[in-house]
Amino acid sequence: MITGEQKPLQEILGIIRPYKNLLILGCGTCVKTCFAGGEDEVAVMASAVRLAYKKDGRKIDIRELTIERQCENEFIQESAGEAARSDAVLSLACGAGVQAMAKRFKDIPILPGVNTTFIGIQETEGIFTEECSGCGDCELAVFGGICPVTRCAKRLMNGPCGGSQDGKCEIDPGTDCAWAQIIDRLTRLGQMDNLKKIIPPKNWNTSLSGGPRKLVREDHMI
Amino acid sequence: MTKDVYLLRAFEAGADAVLVLACPEENCRYAEGGKRARKRIQWVRAILDQIGMDGQKRLFIYNTAAAGEKAVKGIIKDILSGLKHIKESP
């Protein structure tokens, strides 16, 4: 899932300031799971903005709506009516959702209410961890399902650095050393031989470093 | 369930303060309700602080729902006397 955090309220109030008629649009998928932009968060945001405006003696007309996913046209179109009635849309979706909305509704400002952070998982209740960098060349089969690109602070591909201590990363002692985990896991799987092969310097062309990417599936194009 | 939006809507409706009376945390029939309520109060207080409405002075939680009428009246009296020193809600 994509994780994100709501922007500070004061920042959001600054972003929406020019607009008198606002749609706050939530997304029912990733941002709902990380408590940033689902239906409940839309309701809280609307209430907080109305309170803030009331306190300042200003008026704003706010409507609330949450769609299943803001990154797919078939769901985006459900918001067309409300969007058309609005001066602007405050989207609580991830950056992909905000941009998908902007591509669809070219004449309506689509404003971000969430800072999109990473591709990750809910490790445990209330804790989300970054797991995948979207590098475009996955080698998790070599590393026992633990990604050194994402989870090693130094992105080392051929073993730990000298700073790994007691299973913790020297960059941040609160972070587990990915290489300690890789070695534990490969040992458990009986696959330590995977590490005998030297991994060459990574070709980053398949990642965002190579420019914005596109996936084309002609088998799905009619 | 103490949903955060209900607390904010109470302030929108003009409440100067909101008091949540919960059961003692160790005595919750649903195991975690009291703890979750406390976390939500903290969350909403932070939102009120961001708006410029002092959350600590306006939003209260007491885990004394089972303590009896006298105790509850005492809590309400304390809160009301504290409200004299803060601005009315917008």
Interface test with B, best of A6, A7, A11, A51 (most B CBs within 10 A): A51
Asked if the structure places residue A212 within a domain, the reply is no
| Residue B5 banded pLDDT, cuts 50, 70, 90 | very high
8 Å CB contact of A55 and B50 = no
CATH number at residue A37: 3.40.50.2300
Residue that finishes a domain, picked among A118, A144, A171: A118
Domain count, chain A: 2
Among A118, A153, A184, where does a domain finish? A118
Is residue A128 domain-resident?
A: no
Contact B8 A47 (CB under 8 A): yes
Share of chain A above pLDDT 90, in %: 94
∠ CA A94-A100-A103, rounded to 5°: 145
Q: Where does residue A139 rank: exposed (0-12), middle (13-18), buried (19+ CB within 10 A)?
A: middle
Three-state DSSP at B79 gives: helix
Task: Report whether A177 contacts A160 (CB < 8 A).
Answer: yes
What are the φ and ψ backbone dihedral angles of B88, each rounded to 5 degrees? Answer: -65, 155
Mean of pLDDT over chain A: 96
Q: Does B73 contact A at CB distance below 8 Å?
A: no
A51 and A114 assigned to the same domain: yes
Domain that holds residue A148: 134-207
- Is B8 within 8 Å of A8 when comparing Cβ atoms? no
Which of B5, B50, B52 comes nearest A43 by C-beta? B5
A108 shares a domain with A29 = yes
Residue B14 is predicted with a pLDDT of 92
| pLDDT recorded at residue B65 | 62
* A53 falls within a domain: yes
**pLDDT tens digits for B25-70?**
888 888 888 888 999 999 999 999 999 999 998 999 988 766 788 8
Same domain, yes or no: A138 and A103: no
Q: Which pLDDT does position A128 carry in this prediction?
A: 96
Residue of A nearest to B48 (CA): A48
Within this chain, do residues A95 and A176 fall inside the same structural domain, yes or no?
Answer: no
Instruction: Compare A46 and A208 and report the one with higher pLDDT.
Output: A46
Contact A44, B8 (CB under 8 A): yes
Question: Are A30 and A106 found together in one domain?
Answer: yes
Instruction: Indicate the pTM of the whole model.
Output: 0.90
Q: Where are the domains of chain B?
A: 4-83
Are A99 and A143 found together in one domain?
A: no
Asked whether residue A192 is assigned to any structural domain, the reply reads yes
The shortest C-alpha distance from A38 to chain B (Å) reads 13
